[in-house]
Amino acid sequence: MTSEAGGEILFERRGPLGLVTLNRPKALNALSLPMIRAMHAQLRAWEEDDSISRVAVRGAGGRAFCAGGDIRRIYEVARAGDETELYEIWAGEYGLVAYVGRYPKPYVSLIDGIVMGGGVGISLHGEYRVAGANYSFAMPEVGIGLFPDVGMTHALPRLPGHTGFYLALTGARIGAGDALAVGLATHHVPGTDFDALVDRLAAGVAVTDAIAPHAAPPPPAGSLVSERALIEACFDAETVPEVLERLDARAAAGSTFAAETAALMRTRSPTSLCIAREQMRRGVNLSLAEAILAEYRLVTRLMEGADFFEGVRAVIVDKDGKPAWRPARLEEVDLDAVRAAFGPSGWPEPRFA
């Protein structure tokens, strides 16, 4: 076993298996730039190594697979005016996500506990997404003035029945049952069986055959399944205000779920909501690489604005939960500027293909 990034990420060769362990449990295995660089380099080395036939990725500590990118660090370097490191973080994370999406060897994500943001990016685009019983998925970026990134422009519009639109515009959490029902996860294995599954992968057993003895029936699904008809009816609206109007009408007719969903959306950044809705419109026609390039362009714009910094301040730094969004009302969002933000930014752009 080797460790990189000060021990924050571990790499182990076990027979034909290359095993990655995210080893930052106190930070819920959030991805730092050194972790991102080390993982990208190791995956490339294993791609070229004929003795490695499959890769698995897991998180240490039991509470999280990976809670995302290191948002606090991004906030700090941006506030310090360090544009070099700022865009190295974004380009590095997005580059790793794009590489996972085209990785030529079987890629197995062992996901128990929290999986959000960048953690979704380095797991969802792989072939095998094994959810433990404590799996908890969210893309909550609209709550910090960002948008669902790391390839979600590509992935979420492709989920059935506008469920991806709902996840993008609310940032709501879902469990393993819902994730399996809509295809975010491919298999369910209790987290207590992950070590045994790794042993079988290391013994060279074909991936599907390695998973099979440990597979369990899907846990009960939640509101993403039970409220599927309402989600479809409300979230296929063309604009965010129209989504809210439909939710309000359902709430007036007695739907608690609709009332709670509308209330949650009204706490989110209006600009982020409009960006997320435009992502869902465009993303179904974009490849993963094209989607990630669009996200990089978007993030360069948002780093020049106010809502991301205000959202991180309110949620992560000061933790007062009271962001002052600018603008504060959906009606004040410049939709032409939102659409323009998907175009070339003027910054040097990485290649994600």
What residues act catalytically? 69, 118, 141, 149
Q: Do residues 133 and 109 touch, judged by C-beta distance below 8 A?
A: no
The helix/strand/coil state of 139 is: coil
In degrees and rounded to multiples of 5, residue 231 shows phi and psi of -60, -45
Cα three-residue angle 185-204-176, rounded to 5 degrees = 15
> Cα 102 to chain center, whole Å?
17
* Residue type, position 6, single letter: G
Sheet with 54-59, edge to edge strand ranges: 2-4, 9-14, 17-22, 54-59, 107-111, 128-131, 187-188
Cα 138–Cα 143–Cα 147 angle in degrees, nearest 5: 75
Q: Where are the beta strands (DSSP E) in the chain?
A: 2-4, 9-14, 17-22, 54-59, 64-66, 107-111, 114-116, 128-131, 136-138, 174-175, 187-188
User: Are the beta carbons of 3 and 41 closer than 8 angstroms?
Assistant: no
Is the N-terminal amide bond of 327 cis, ω within 30° of 0?
yes
CA distance 312 to 284: 29
